[in-house]
Chain A
Amino acid sequence: MMNALGDPQSLLVLGGSSEIGLATARRLVRSRVEVVHLAGRPSPALDAAAQELRALGAQVHVHDFDAAAVDTHETVLGKIFAEGDVDVALLAFGVLGDQEQGEREPLAAAAVAQVNYLGAVTSSLVCAQALRRQGHGALVVLSSVAGERARRSNFIYGSTKAGLDAFAQGLGDSLQGTGAKVMVVRPGFVRTRMTEGMQEAPLATTADAVAEAVVTGLRRGSETVWVPGALRYVMSGLRHVPRAVFRKLPV
């Protein structure tokens, strides 16, 4: 159960080898989390994450989960929830894709949408149903500022996050009064394996900073979290910049 100070006792990370997911799990294990479910495709990174969290004292269960395989989500996630209450489910998977390749090969673009949007839709619906049955719990959805306004340089990725963001907000509203809730997290450019070698955007942040913002958001019961916080004001300005100007901005 989540305690009065917003510290959960059990955590499910979808995208178990995600750096933001692991950084969040680390912090939560240090406060109250005892049971961690890591759901992801088998990989050395996933095993290493499990190992590290075990060393911190958590009871870690690893589950074979493929975000793109939407027809398996009900079964795979259903089993996890059947093992006991999940106080926080963190939807941390996502792929950046290659914008240029996607523009050339439509199926490559569809693969990004399959994971970031479709996979997120099915898995968050399964989680939401389970949380509703539990009568408590938070679904934390990692969105992105890239979804706030489509950019020439990464609109395939950005559009999947835009769809996910809108979906997660609506899902959160649908859970009003059920005891379950959704928290949407919108990080800016995060320095991780996923963005390695890329040109950094202004206000770039780290997986650890995102994790800290997630933990603080849970504590406060926030519905939307920007990382860093200043992005909220930057984006509310950028949102109103005319298209003709926006597409020329070096963002």
Chain B
Amino acid sequence: MAGLSVAVMDGPEGPLTGWGRTAPTTARLRTPTTAAEARAAVRAADGRGLLARGLGRSYGDAAQNAGGTVLDMTSLARVLALDLERGVVTCEAGVSLDRLMKLLLPFGWFVPVTPGTRYVTVGGAIGADIHGKNHHVSGSFGHHVTRMRLLTAAGEEVELAPGEELFDATTGGMGLTGVILDATIALLPVTTSLMSVDTERATDLDDLMQRLEATDHRYRYSVAWIDLVARGGATGRAVLSRGEHATVDLLTPRQRRDPLAFQPRSLPPAPRGIPGGLLRTGTVGAFNELWFRKAPRERRGQLQRIGAFFHPLDGVPEWNRVYGPGGFLQYQFVVPYGQEAVLRSIVEQLSRHGCPSFLAVLKRFGEGGPGWLSFPMPGWTLALDLPASVPGLGPLLDRLDEQVLAAGGRIYLAKDSRMRPQTLAAMYPRLAEFRALRERIDPGGAFTSDLARRLAL
């Protein structure tokens, strides 16, 4: 080994945070460009362990490892194989969904699942077992992964297939089972790069839930943006945005010349040094009001670009800076169908507390996947952003956690930055198995993260 030993590029040591920019901790950053370099880094990791990090879009501390090593996976980003007949791509874990879309759309293929941002890596998408607006039809990301290669604590590369224990522990396993090196993903065929979108307004939460329940099955993609600042009769007013990939016949003659064109545009990034406290219920309420009024009462078949439909916030790079130096957090939970009263009560509590939350997102999940710590389960999921400085936020969210738990629901690990370990354990029945598996395959604790330390994963 001596003559062949691989030196891993020594990165800077600096504080890392998640997308919410809270709770910074410092780790040694390593940037492997090959699987061999990743293996060398795993072997060199000390007692503080190692963790793979993608593009840092998890909101909380999932991609941090205080005092240990963090592998910046974004340079391990080669596309290894592409089957344009069957629509299957094999790529390294650091490849982003943005890159896959740019590469694949011209050939008429789309990623099977996309979250609210294109800037996530394939490794991160598997680690968090992400979901998108099509969960009720297509399930989570892990459902479309047909194989992957995992670098284990022993420094071995293992091939994993769906149905295997380690595969299911790794999808949703938050990077704690090993370093995902590459994966094969089944793609979705499309004929254009545009979306045909139906938009409608809902006057309150009950109206919204009725509309979603009645017609969600007609759409591949469905989501509702709720105004959580509105109170009283307008509590839970929302705009539904649902759609399908447009077919060529829906396009204008001009659009038909290049139906698969994909050139997402973006504005300049949000400036640095935005002070905290700009986002108060007044300013956010005004924004939400404007946004609600701007939405059509009802509009069918509008053609939207992929960026506008799936990733509106990607249009402003580093938008997370608008919350100022105090940072923000995202609260996302799911409660099973039949627990609508709990959902309604939580929306009312958030609205009453006066949380300055920009548009929150409500969606109906379909069947859950086999991932042990995978988040989605059949039910209603609500996600909202909150400035960390909101007074009384900690106790409020602790109370909501209890209500979610009592309703048989759970909180999403990729978003969490503040939960109690006991609450989490009660929400994820397979956590004990997950811990036992880690104990077995990684007795020395080679892989860990701030999230894992905080929640005893």
Residues of chain A at the chain B interface (Cβ within 8 Å):
1-7, 9, 31-32, 85, 133-136, 177-180, 220
Contacts and interface: CB of A to CB of B under 8 A. Distances in A.
B66 A179 contact: yes
Given A4-B329, A4-B388, A179-B67, A136 B417 contact: no
Contacts of B24: 136, 179
| Complex A-B, nearest 4 residue pairs according to Cβ-Cβ distance, in ascending order | A179-B26, A135-B67, A4-B417, A135-B66
Contact of A1 (B20, B26, B450): B450
Contacts, number: 73
Contact of A134 (B23, B66, B326): B66
B13 interface: yes
A6 B420 CA distance: 13
B453 to A, nearest CB: 5
A239 B48 CA distance: 45
B173 interface: no
A177 B454 contact: no
B56 to A, nearest CB: 15
B327 interface: yes
Q: Is the interface of B mostly helix, strand, loop or mixed?
A: loop
Interface of B: 13-15, 20, 22-27, 48, 60-61, 65-68, 326-327, 329, 388-389, 393-394, 417-418, 420, 450, 453-454
B454 to A, nearest CB: 4
Nearest to A7: B394
B453 A85 contact: yes
Most buried by B among A3, A7, A179, A180: A3
B241 to A, nearest CB: 29
A4 B20 contact: yes
Given A4-B61, A177-B15, A220-B326, 7 more contacts: A1-B61, A1-B450, A3-B61, A4-B329, A5-B388, A135-B27, A179-B27
Contact of B26 (A3, A6, A31, A178): A178
B26 A136 contact: yes
B454 A136 contact: no
A179 B25 contact: yes
30 contacts: A1-B23, A1-B450, A1-B453, A2-B23, A3-B61, A3-B417, A4-B20, A4-B327, A5-B388, A5-B394, A5-B418, A6-B23, A7-B394, A7-B418, A9-B454, A32-B420, A85-B453, A134-B48, A134-B67, A135-B25, A135-B26, A135-B27, A135-B67, A136-B23, A136-B26, A136-B67, A177-B13, A178-B13, A179-B15, A179-B25
Nearest to A85: B453
Nearest to B451: A1
